[in-house]
Amino acid sequence: MRGFIALAPCLVLAFHAPLTAQDELPLTAADVLGIGTDIPGRMTVPVTIGSAGPYPFTIDTGAERTVISRELAGLLGLARGPQVRLTAMTGTSTVKTVVIPSLSVSTAGAGRIEAPELEGKDLGAPGLLGLDTLKDHAVSINFDTNQMTVKPSRKRRYQAVAAPDEIVIQAKSLFGQLVVTDAFYRGQRVRVVLDTGSVVSMGNLALRDTLIRRKIKMTPITLTGVTGDQITADYTQIGEVKIGGMTFQNLPVAFANAAPFERLGLKKQPALLLGMDALRLCRRVDIDFANREVRILLPRRSGAI
């Protein structure tokens, strides 16, 4: 478990109805990236910093800001930036930043970035690619072909139409994260955030309490976050988690009083950060930040996973 960096002060955005119709932006060969699998349970894509690279950065849709390893920042001789407050799974702390002059991945990119600088061994990669780079883009992760596409996105006027075996879910934007509210555990509504930076799915204590009432057995485990700090969690499997028209059975979840839940205002209501262990069960996951839309292509067998 490494994902979810929260740094920038953000504004809660209200849900918008579909806007005006515009043609889809065409996909080009430059948008298609091979997904690296050299880091167990993680996805990496080639990232160029200035004219250097590419370097394999982890795709982290749960991170508000892009993060770089201390080792890579030193290798590139990046200038120092200001200290910032960082909220990770294990808590909030003050960390140093470095100035990335420019960064690009496929057709997505950003100019000057003040990126938190953390130990590479804790990040598990040379860096994390966050929402400051992916915003206003559509990200498609195809697990069948082991490829990802990143392309600019713009708001549409028309309702999304689902293809066969595909689920289309409208989400709300909260601090830049897309929060799915059309999700339930045994009939109780659960807020779900897609977190590609986390190897394991994380549940909050409000969701755990519903399991305690059902006397579901849990095992204590220790997880290490991006800052190197650790957190104790209760680990178990839960069934009948429905997201849109898809049902997860025996979904592994680690439950903890993790700091991101409080930051997102999801501490008192059942909530789940859906990690790569769950997302990899799907054939394809599309996340369109501009349209606040999530599309999931189901496994070929059925809608139950």
Please give the residue that has the higher pLDDT: either 247 or 135. Answer: 247
Phi/psi for 52 (5° steps) reads -100, 150
> How confident is the model over 106-146, as pLDDT tens digits?
666 677 889 999 888 888 889 988 888 877 788 888 888 88
Q: What share of the chain in percent tops pLDDT 70?
A: 81
pLDDT at 271: 92
Q: Which residue is listed with tokens 């054939």?
A: 283
Using 50, 70 and 90 to split pLDDT, how confident is the model at 30? very low
**CB count in 10 Å sphere of residue 2:** 31
pLDDT at 108: 64
Is 50 exceeded by the pLDDT of residue 9?
no
Lowest-confidence segment of 71-85, 149-163, 175-189, 240-254 by average pLDDT: 149-163
Six token digits for residue 154: 């713009």
Quick one: CA torsion of 254, 131, 104, 2, rounded to 10 degrees?
A: -20
Domain boundary assignment for the chain: 30-142, 163-297
Calpha distance 77→61 (Å, rounded)? 27
Is 60 exceeded by the pLDDT of residue 213?
yes
pLDDT at 305: 64
256 torsion bin: left (phi>0), alpha (psi -120 to 50), beta (else): beta
Using 50, 70 and 90 to split pLDDT, how confident is the model at 90? confident
Q: Are 200 and 223 in contact (CB under 8 A)?
A: yes
> How confident is the model over 254-275, as pLDDT tens digits?
999 888 888 888 888 999 998 8
Lowest-confidence segment of 21-25, 39-43, 130-134, 260-264 by average pLDDT: 21-25
pLDDT at 223: 84
Lowest-confidence segment of 10-24, 151-165, 259-273, 279-293 by average pLDDT: 10-24
Between vectors from CA 136 to CA 131 and to CA 140, what angle results, nearest 5°? 75
β-pairing verdict for 188-189 and 219-224: unpaired
- Judge whether 30-142 and 163-297 match in fold: yes
User: 280 to each of 165, 181, 195, 200, how far by Cα in Å?
Assistant: 16, 21, 12, 11
Would you tell me which CATH number, out of the four given (3.40.190.10, 3.30.70.580, 2.40.70.10, 2.20.25.90), belongs to the domain 163-297?
2.40.70.10
Is 90 exceeded by the pLDDT of residue 99?
yes
Between vectors from CA 89 to CA 177 and to CA 231, what angle results, nearest 5°? 160
Whole-model pTM: value is 0.76
Compute the half-sphere exposure of residue 285: CA atoms within 13 Å on the CB side of its CA. 17
Q: How is residue 298 annotated by DSSP?
A: P
Is 70 exceeded by the pLDDT of residue 240?
yes
Quick one: CA torsion of 46, 280, 263, 133, rounded to 10 degrees?
A: 20
> How confident is the model over 143-186, as pLDDT tens digits?
888 887 878 888 877 766 777 788 888 888 776 777 888 889 98
Please give the residue that has the higher pLDDT: either 293 or 177. Answer: 293
Q: What share of the chain in percent tops pLDDT 90?
A: 14
Is 70 exceeded by the pLDDT of residue 20?
no
Please give the residue that has the higher pLDDT: either 90 or 273. Answer: 273
> Can you tell me the mean pLDDT for 38-64?
77
Q: How is residue 182 annotated by DSSP?
A: S
Q: Determine the CATH number of domain 30-142.
A: 2.40.70.10
